[in-house]
């Protein structure tokens, strides 16, 4: 049996196993240490590096990073853990050299959004399992390219959406799985986060500052802000859609059928530049295409609706705006993930009071077993512990040859919201059909994340 047919037959034999054409993998047994490469070691990539270096079951083999400043920062993280710096591959095509390293089992890609498709598809073709950071696709064809490449190579991709692991979100998902909200009807979420000091960052302040972007920008301001200049879309759909989609079994018994989007005018970014750099600053004349508030309504085959809100250009407190509502109850998030920062209402339990109650007691009672198991290890990890769970799933699934909870079909669906919303806004809210990236497999695919038998 040749190598390709062996891969195909292995995939057919076990639909829940990770399958890679990398000849270093032993499909019949677990591996003890995962050898990882990182593509993009900017600020987010450094968070992943820090999580990886904490573990004794991971070896970071190489990093592809064109910016010497980020390489220097990465070396400080290696020094923190008293580990030797790895081999660096510089230049925008350094990832291609990294992929030639036959020791590498998997790569984490944390680069600017426009590079995700090219780098992920190249990794799959090179036999490297992929953990891909979030964003939205540049176009719909990219989403099909992810799926088609996976179905050709059988090299899996993990959609690295960390908010799915937020403690209150997982507790609510646990309650949803137990049927406490009754039949789910509607959900909301989004990215409601003041990013002005990220979009304009001259590198002189520790947490951003100034009014520069593009060639004069530092970190994300060097590339992310250009999307606001050129696009008008739901640019960051996964923080809201990932958690709500898992509660509604999207791609696992349910699917999104279509969406419609609308955007407000742009005022926030120009106002920020004028206030901080002056009306005469060149960037005050930039015409930003991205609306300050973008709202996208999605419809599911099973009847549910999902509302996503993108709100990153105006002053506001951080809040992802989660809401899950069913025939027997409703939960609404008003903060940043703490058990005491949300409201809940169950009509029968609360004797038809029509008054919100704090969600704290319910969330503590139904804290997800995964959080209970790893709470100690997650202490100090980024985003309130979420980054530990994200990385733990990536590594442990590879070690156990186990299906990722969020896969290439979720990736394609969540990413597709961006180009579809862009087209809808251009058409004054015209409805856009969401492709079935599973090609019908969603009808028989079973939920993985948040189910009773979930856990590594």
Q: Render pLDDT for 111-138 as a digit per residue (tens, 0 to 9).
A: 999 999 999 999 999 999 999 999 989 9
Question: Which H or E run includes 265?
Answer: none
Residues 357/341, Cβ–Cβ less than 8 Å: no
How does residue 5 score in pLDDT terms, banded at 50, 70 and 90? very low
The pLDDT, as a whole number, for residue 340 is 81
The pLDDT, as a whole number, for residue 29 is 59
- CA–CA separation, 100 vs 109, rounded Å? 16
The pLDDT, as a whole number, for residue 13 is 39
Residues 36/107, Cβ–Cβ less than 8 Å: yes
Whether residue 16 is predicted with pLDDT greater than 60 in this model: the reply is no
The pLDDT, as a whole number, for residue 208 is 77
Its sign, for the CA torsion 189, 191, 192, 193, is: positive
**Burial category of 314 from C-beta neighbours within 10 Å (exposed 0-12, middle 13-18, buried 19 and up):** middle
How does residue 24 score in pLDDT terms, banded at 50, 70 and 90? very low
Question: Which H or E run includes 346?
Answer: none
Tokens 């004794």 belong to 56
* 157-159: strand order across its sheet: 87-89, 58-64, 34-39, 106-109, 129-132, 157-159
* Whole-Å CA distances, 312 to 198, 269, 297: 10, 9, 18
Angle at CA of residue 247, ends 246 and 253, nearest 5°: 70
Residues 449/246, Cβ–Cβ less than 8 Å: yes
| Beta-bridge partner residues of 260 | 297
Backbone φ and ψ for 31, nearest 5 degrees, come out as: -110, 150
The pLDDT, as a whole number, for residue 25 is 47
The pLDDT, as a whole number, for residue 85 is 87
Average pLDDT over every residue of 128-157: 97
DSSP category for residue 201:
B
* Whole-Å CA distances, 198 to 116, 173, 315: 20, 31, 13
Residues 139/172, Cβ–Cβ less than 8 Å: no
Average pLDDT over every residue of 244-251: 98
| Beta-bridge partner residues of 186 | 305, 325
- CA–CA separation, 452 vs 302, rounded Å? 22
How does residue 455 score in pLDDT terms, banded at 50, 70 and 90? low
Q: Taking the chain, what is the end-to-end CA distance rounded to the nearest angstrom?
A: 33
Share of the chain above pLDDT 90, in %: 85
Contacts of 339 (CB under 8 A, 6+ apart): 167, 168, 171, 359, 360, 363, 364
Residues 430/246, Cβ–Cβ less than 8 Å: no
The pLDDT, as a whole number, for residue 417 is 98
How does residue 204 score in pLDDT terms, banded at 50, 70 and 90? confident
- Pick from 202-206, 342-346, 366-370: least confident: 202-206
Contacts of 321 (CB under 8 A, 6+ apart): 188, 189, 190, 192, 240, 309, 333
Average pLDDT over every residue of 234-242: 98
Considering the chain, what is the average pLDDT of its residues? Answer: 92
The architecture of the domain spanning 34-161 is 3-Layer(aba) Sandwich (3.40)
Q: Render pLDDT for 315-366 as a digit per residue (tens, 0 to 9).
A: 999 999 999 999 999 999 988 777 888 999 999 999 999 999 999 999 999 9
CATH superfamily placement of domain 164-368+408-443 = Dihydrodipicolinate Reductase; domain 2 (3.30.360.10)
Selection from 359, 349, 350, 248 nearest residue 307 by Cα = 248
Selection from 321, 323, 261, 334 nearest residue 291 by Cα = 261
- CA–CA separation, 339 vs 119, rounded Å? 38
Rg (CA), the chain: 22
Residues 140/420, Cβ–Cβ less than 8 Å: yes
Please state the domain extents for the chain: 34-161, 164-368+408-443
Most confident of the following: 65-74, 395-404, 418-427? 418-427
Neighbours of 54 (CB within 10 A): 15
* Whole-Å CA distances, 306 to 245, 246, 332, 346, 429: 8, 12, 14, 21, 16
Residues 129/19, Cβ–Cβ less than 8 Å: no
Structure tokens at 137: 């696709």
Neighbours of 290 (CB within 10 A): 23
Neighbours of 93 (CB within 10 A): 14
* 323-326: strand order across its sheet: 357-358, 342-345, 330-333, 323-326, 184-192, 305-311, 293-300, 256-263, 432-433
The pLDDT, as a whole number, for residue 17 is 66
Whether residue 53 is predicted with pLDDT greater than 60 in this model: the reply is yes
The pLDDT, as a whole number, for residue 456 is 55
Whether residue 9 is predicted with pLDDT greater than 60 in this model: the reply is no
């Amino acid at each position: 049996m040749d190598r390709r047919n062996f891969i195909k037959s292995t995939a057919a034999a076990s639909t829940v196993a990770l399958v890679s054409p990398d000849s270093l993998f032993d499909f019949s047994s677990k591996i003890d240490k995962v050898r990882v490469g990182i593509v993009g070691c900017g600020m987010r990539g450094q968070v992943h590096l820090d999580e990886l270096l904490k573990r004794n079951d991971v070896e970071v083999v190489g990093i592809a990073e064109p910016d010497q400043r980020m390489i220097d920062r990465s070396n400080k993280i290696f020094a923190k853990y008293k580990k030797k710096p790895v081999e660096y591959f510089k230049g925008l095509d350094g990832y291609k050299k990294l992929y030639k390293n036959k020791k590498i089992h998997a790569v984490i890609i944390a680069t600017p959004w426009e590079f995700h498709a090219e780098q992920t598809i190249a990794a799959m073709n090179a036999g490297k399992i992929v953990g891909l950071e979030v964003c939205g696709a540049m176009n719909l064809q990219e989403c099909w390219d992810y799926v088609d490449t996976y179905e050709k190579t059988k090299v899996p991709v993990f959609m690295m959406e960390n908010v799915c692991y937020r403690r209150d979100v997982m507790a609510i998902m646990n309650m949803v799985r137990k049927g406490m909200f009754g039949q789910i009807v509607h959900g909301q979420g989004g990215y409601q986060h003041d990013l002005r000091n990220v979009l304009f960052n001259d590198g002189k302040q520790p947490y951003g500052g100034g009014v520069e972007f593009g060639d004069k920008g530092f970190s994300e301001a060097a590339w992310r802000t250009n999307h606001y200049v050129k696009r008008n879309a739901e640019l960051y759909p996964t923080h809201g859609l990932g958690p709500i989609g898992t509660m509604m079994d999207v791609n696992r018994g349910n699917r999104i059928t279509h969406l419609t989007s609308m955007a407000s005018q742009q005022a926030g970014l120009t106002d920020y530049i004028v206030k901080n750099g002056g009306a005469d600053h060149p960037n005050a004349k930039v015409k930003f295409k991205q609306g300050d508030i973008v709202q996208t309504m999605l419809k599911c085959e099973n009847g549910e609706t999902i509302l996503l809100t993108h709100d990153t250009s105006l002053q506001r407190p951080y809040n992802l705006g989660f809401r899950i509502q069913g025939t027997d109850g409703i939960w609404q998030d008003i903060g940043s993930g703490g058990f005491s920062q949300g409201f809940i209402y169950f009509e029968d339990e609360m004797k038809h009071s029509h008054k919100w109650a704090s969600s704290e007691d319910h969330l503590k009672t139904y804290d997800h077993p995964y959080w209970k198991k790893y709470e100690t290890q997650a202490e100090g990890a980024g985003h309130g512990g979420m980054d530990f769970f994200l990385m733990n799933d990536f590594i442990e699934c590879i070690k156990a040859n186990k299906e990722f909870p969020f896969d290439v079909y979720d990736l394609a669906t969540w990413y597709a919201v961006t180009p579809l919303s862009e087209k809808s806004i251009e058409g004054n809210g015209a409805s856009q059909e969401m492709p079935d990236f599973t090609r019908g497999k969603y009808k028989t695919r079973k939920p993985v994340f948040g189910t009773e038998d979930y856990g590594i």
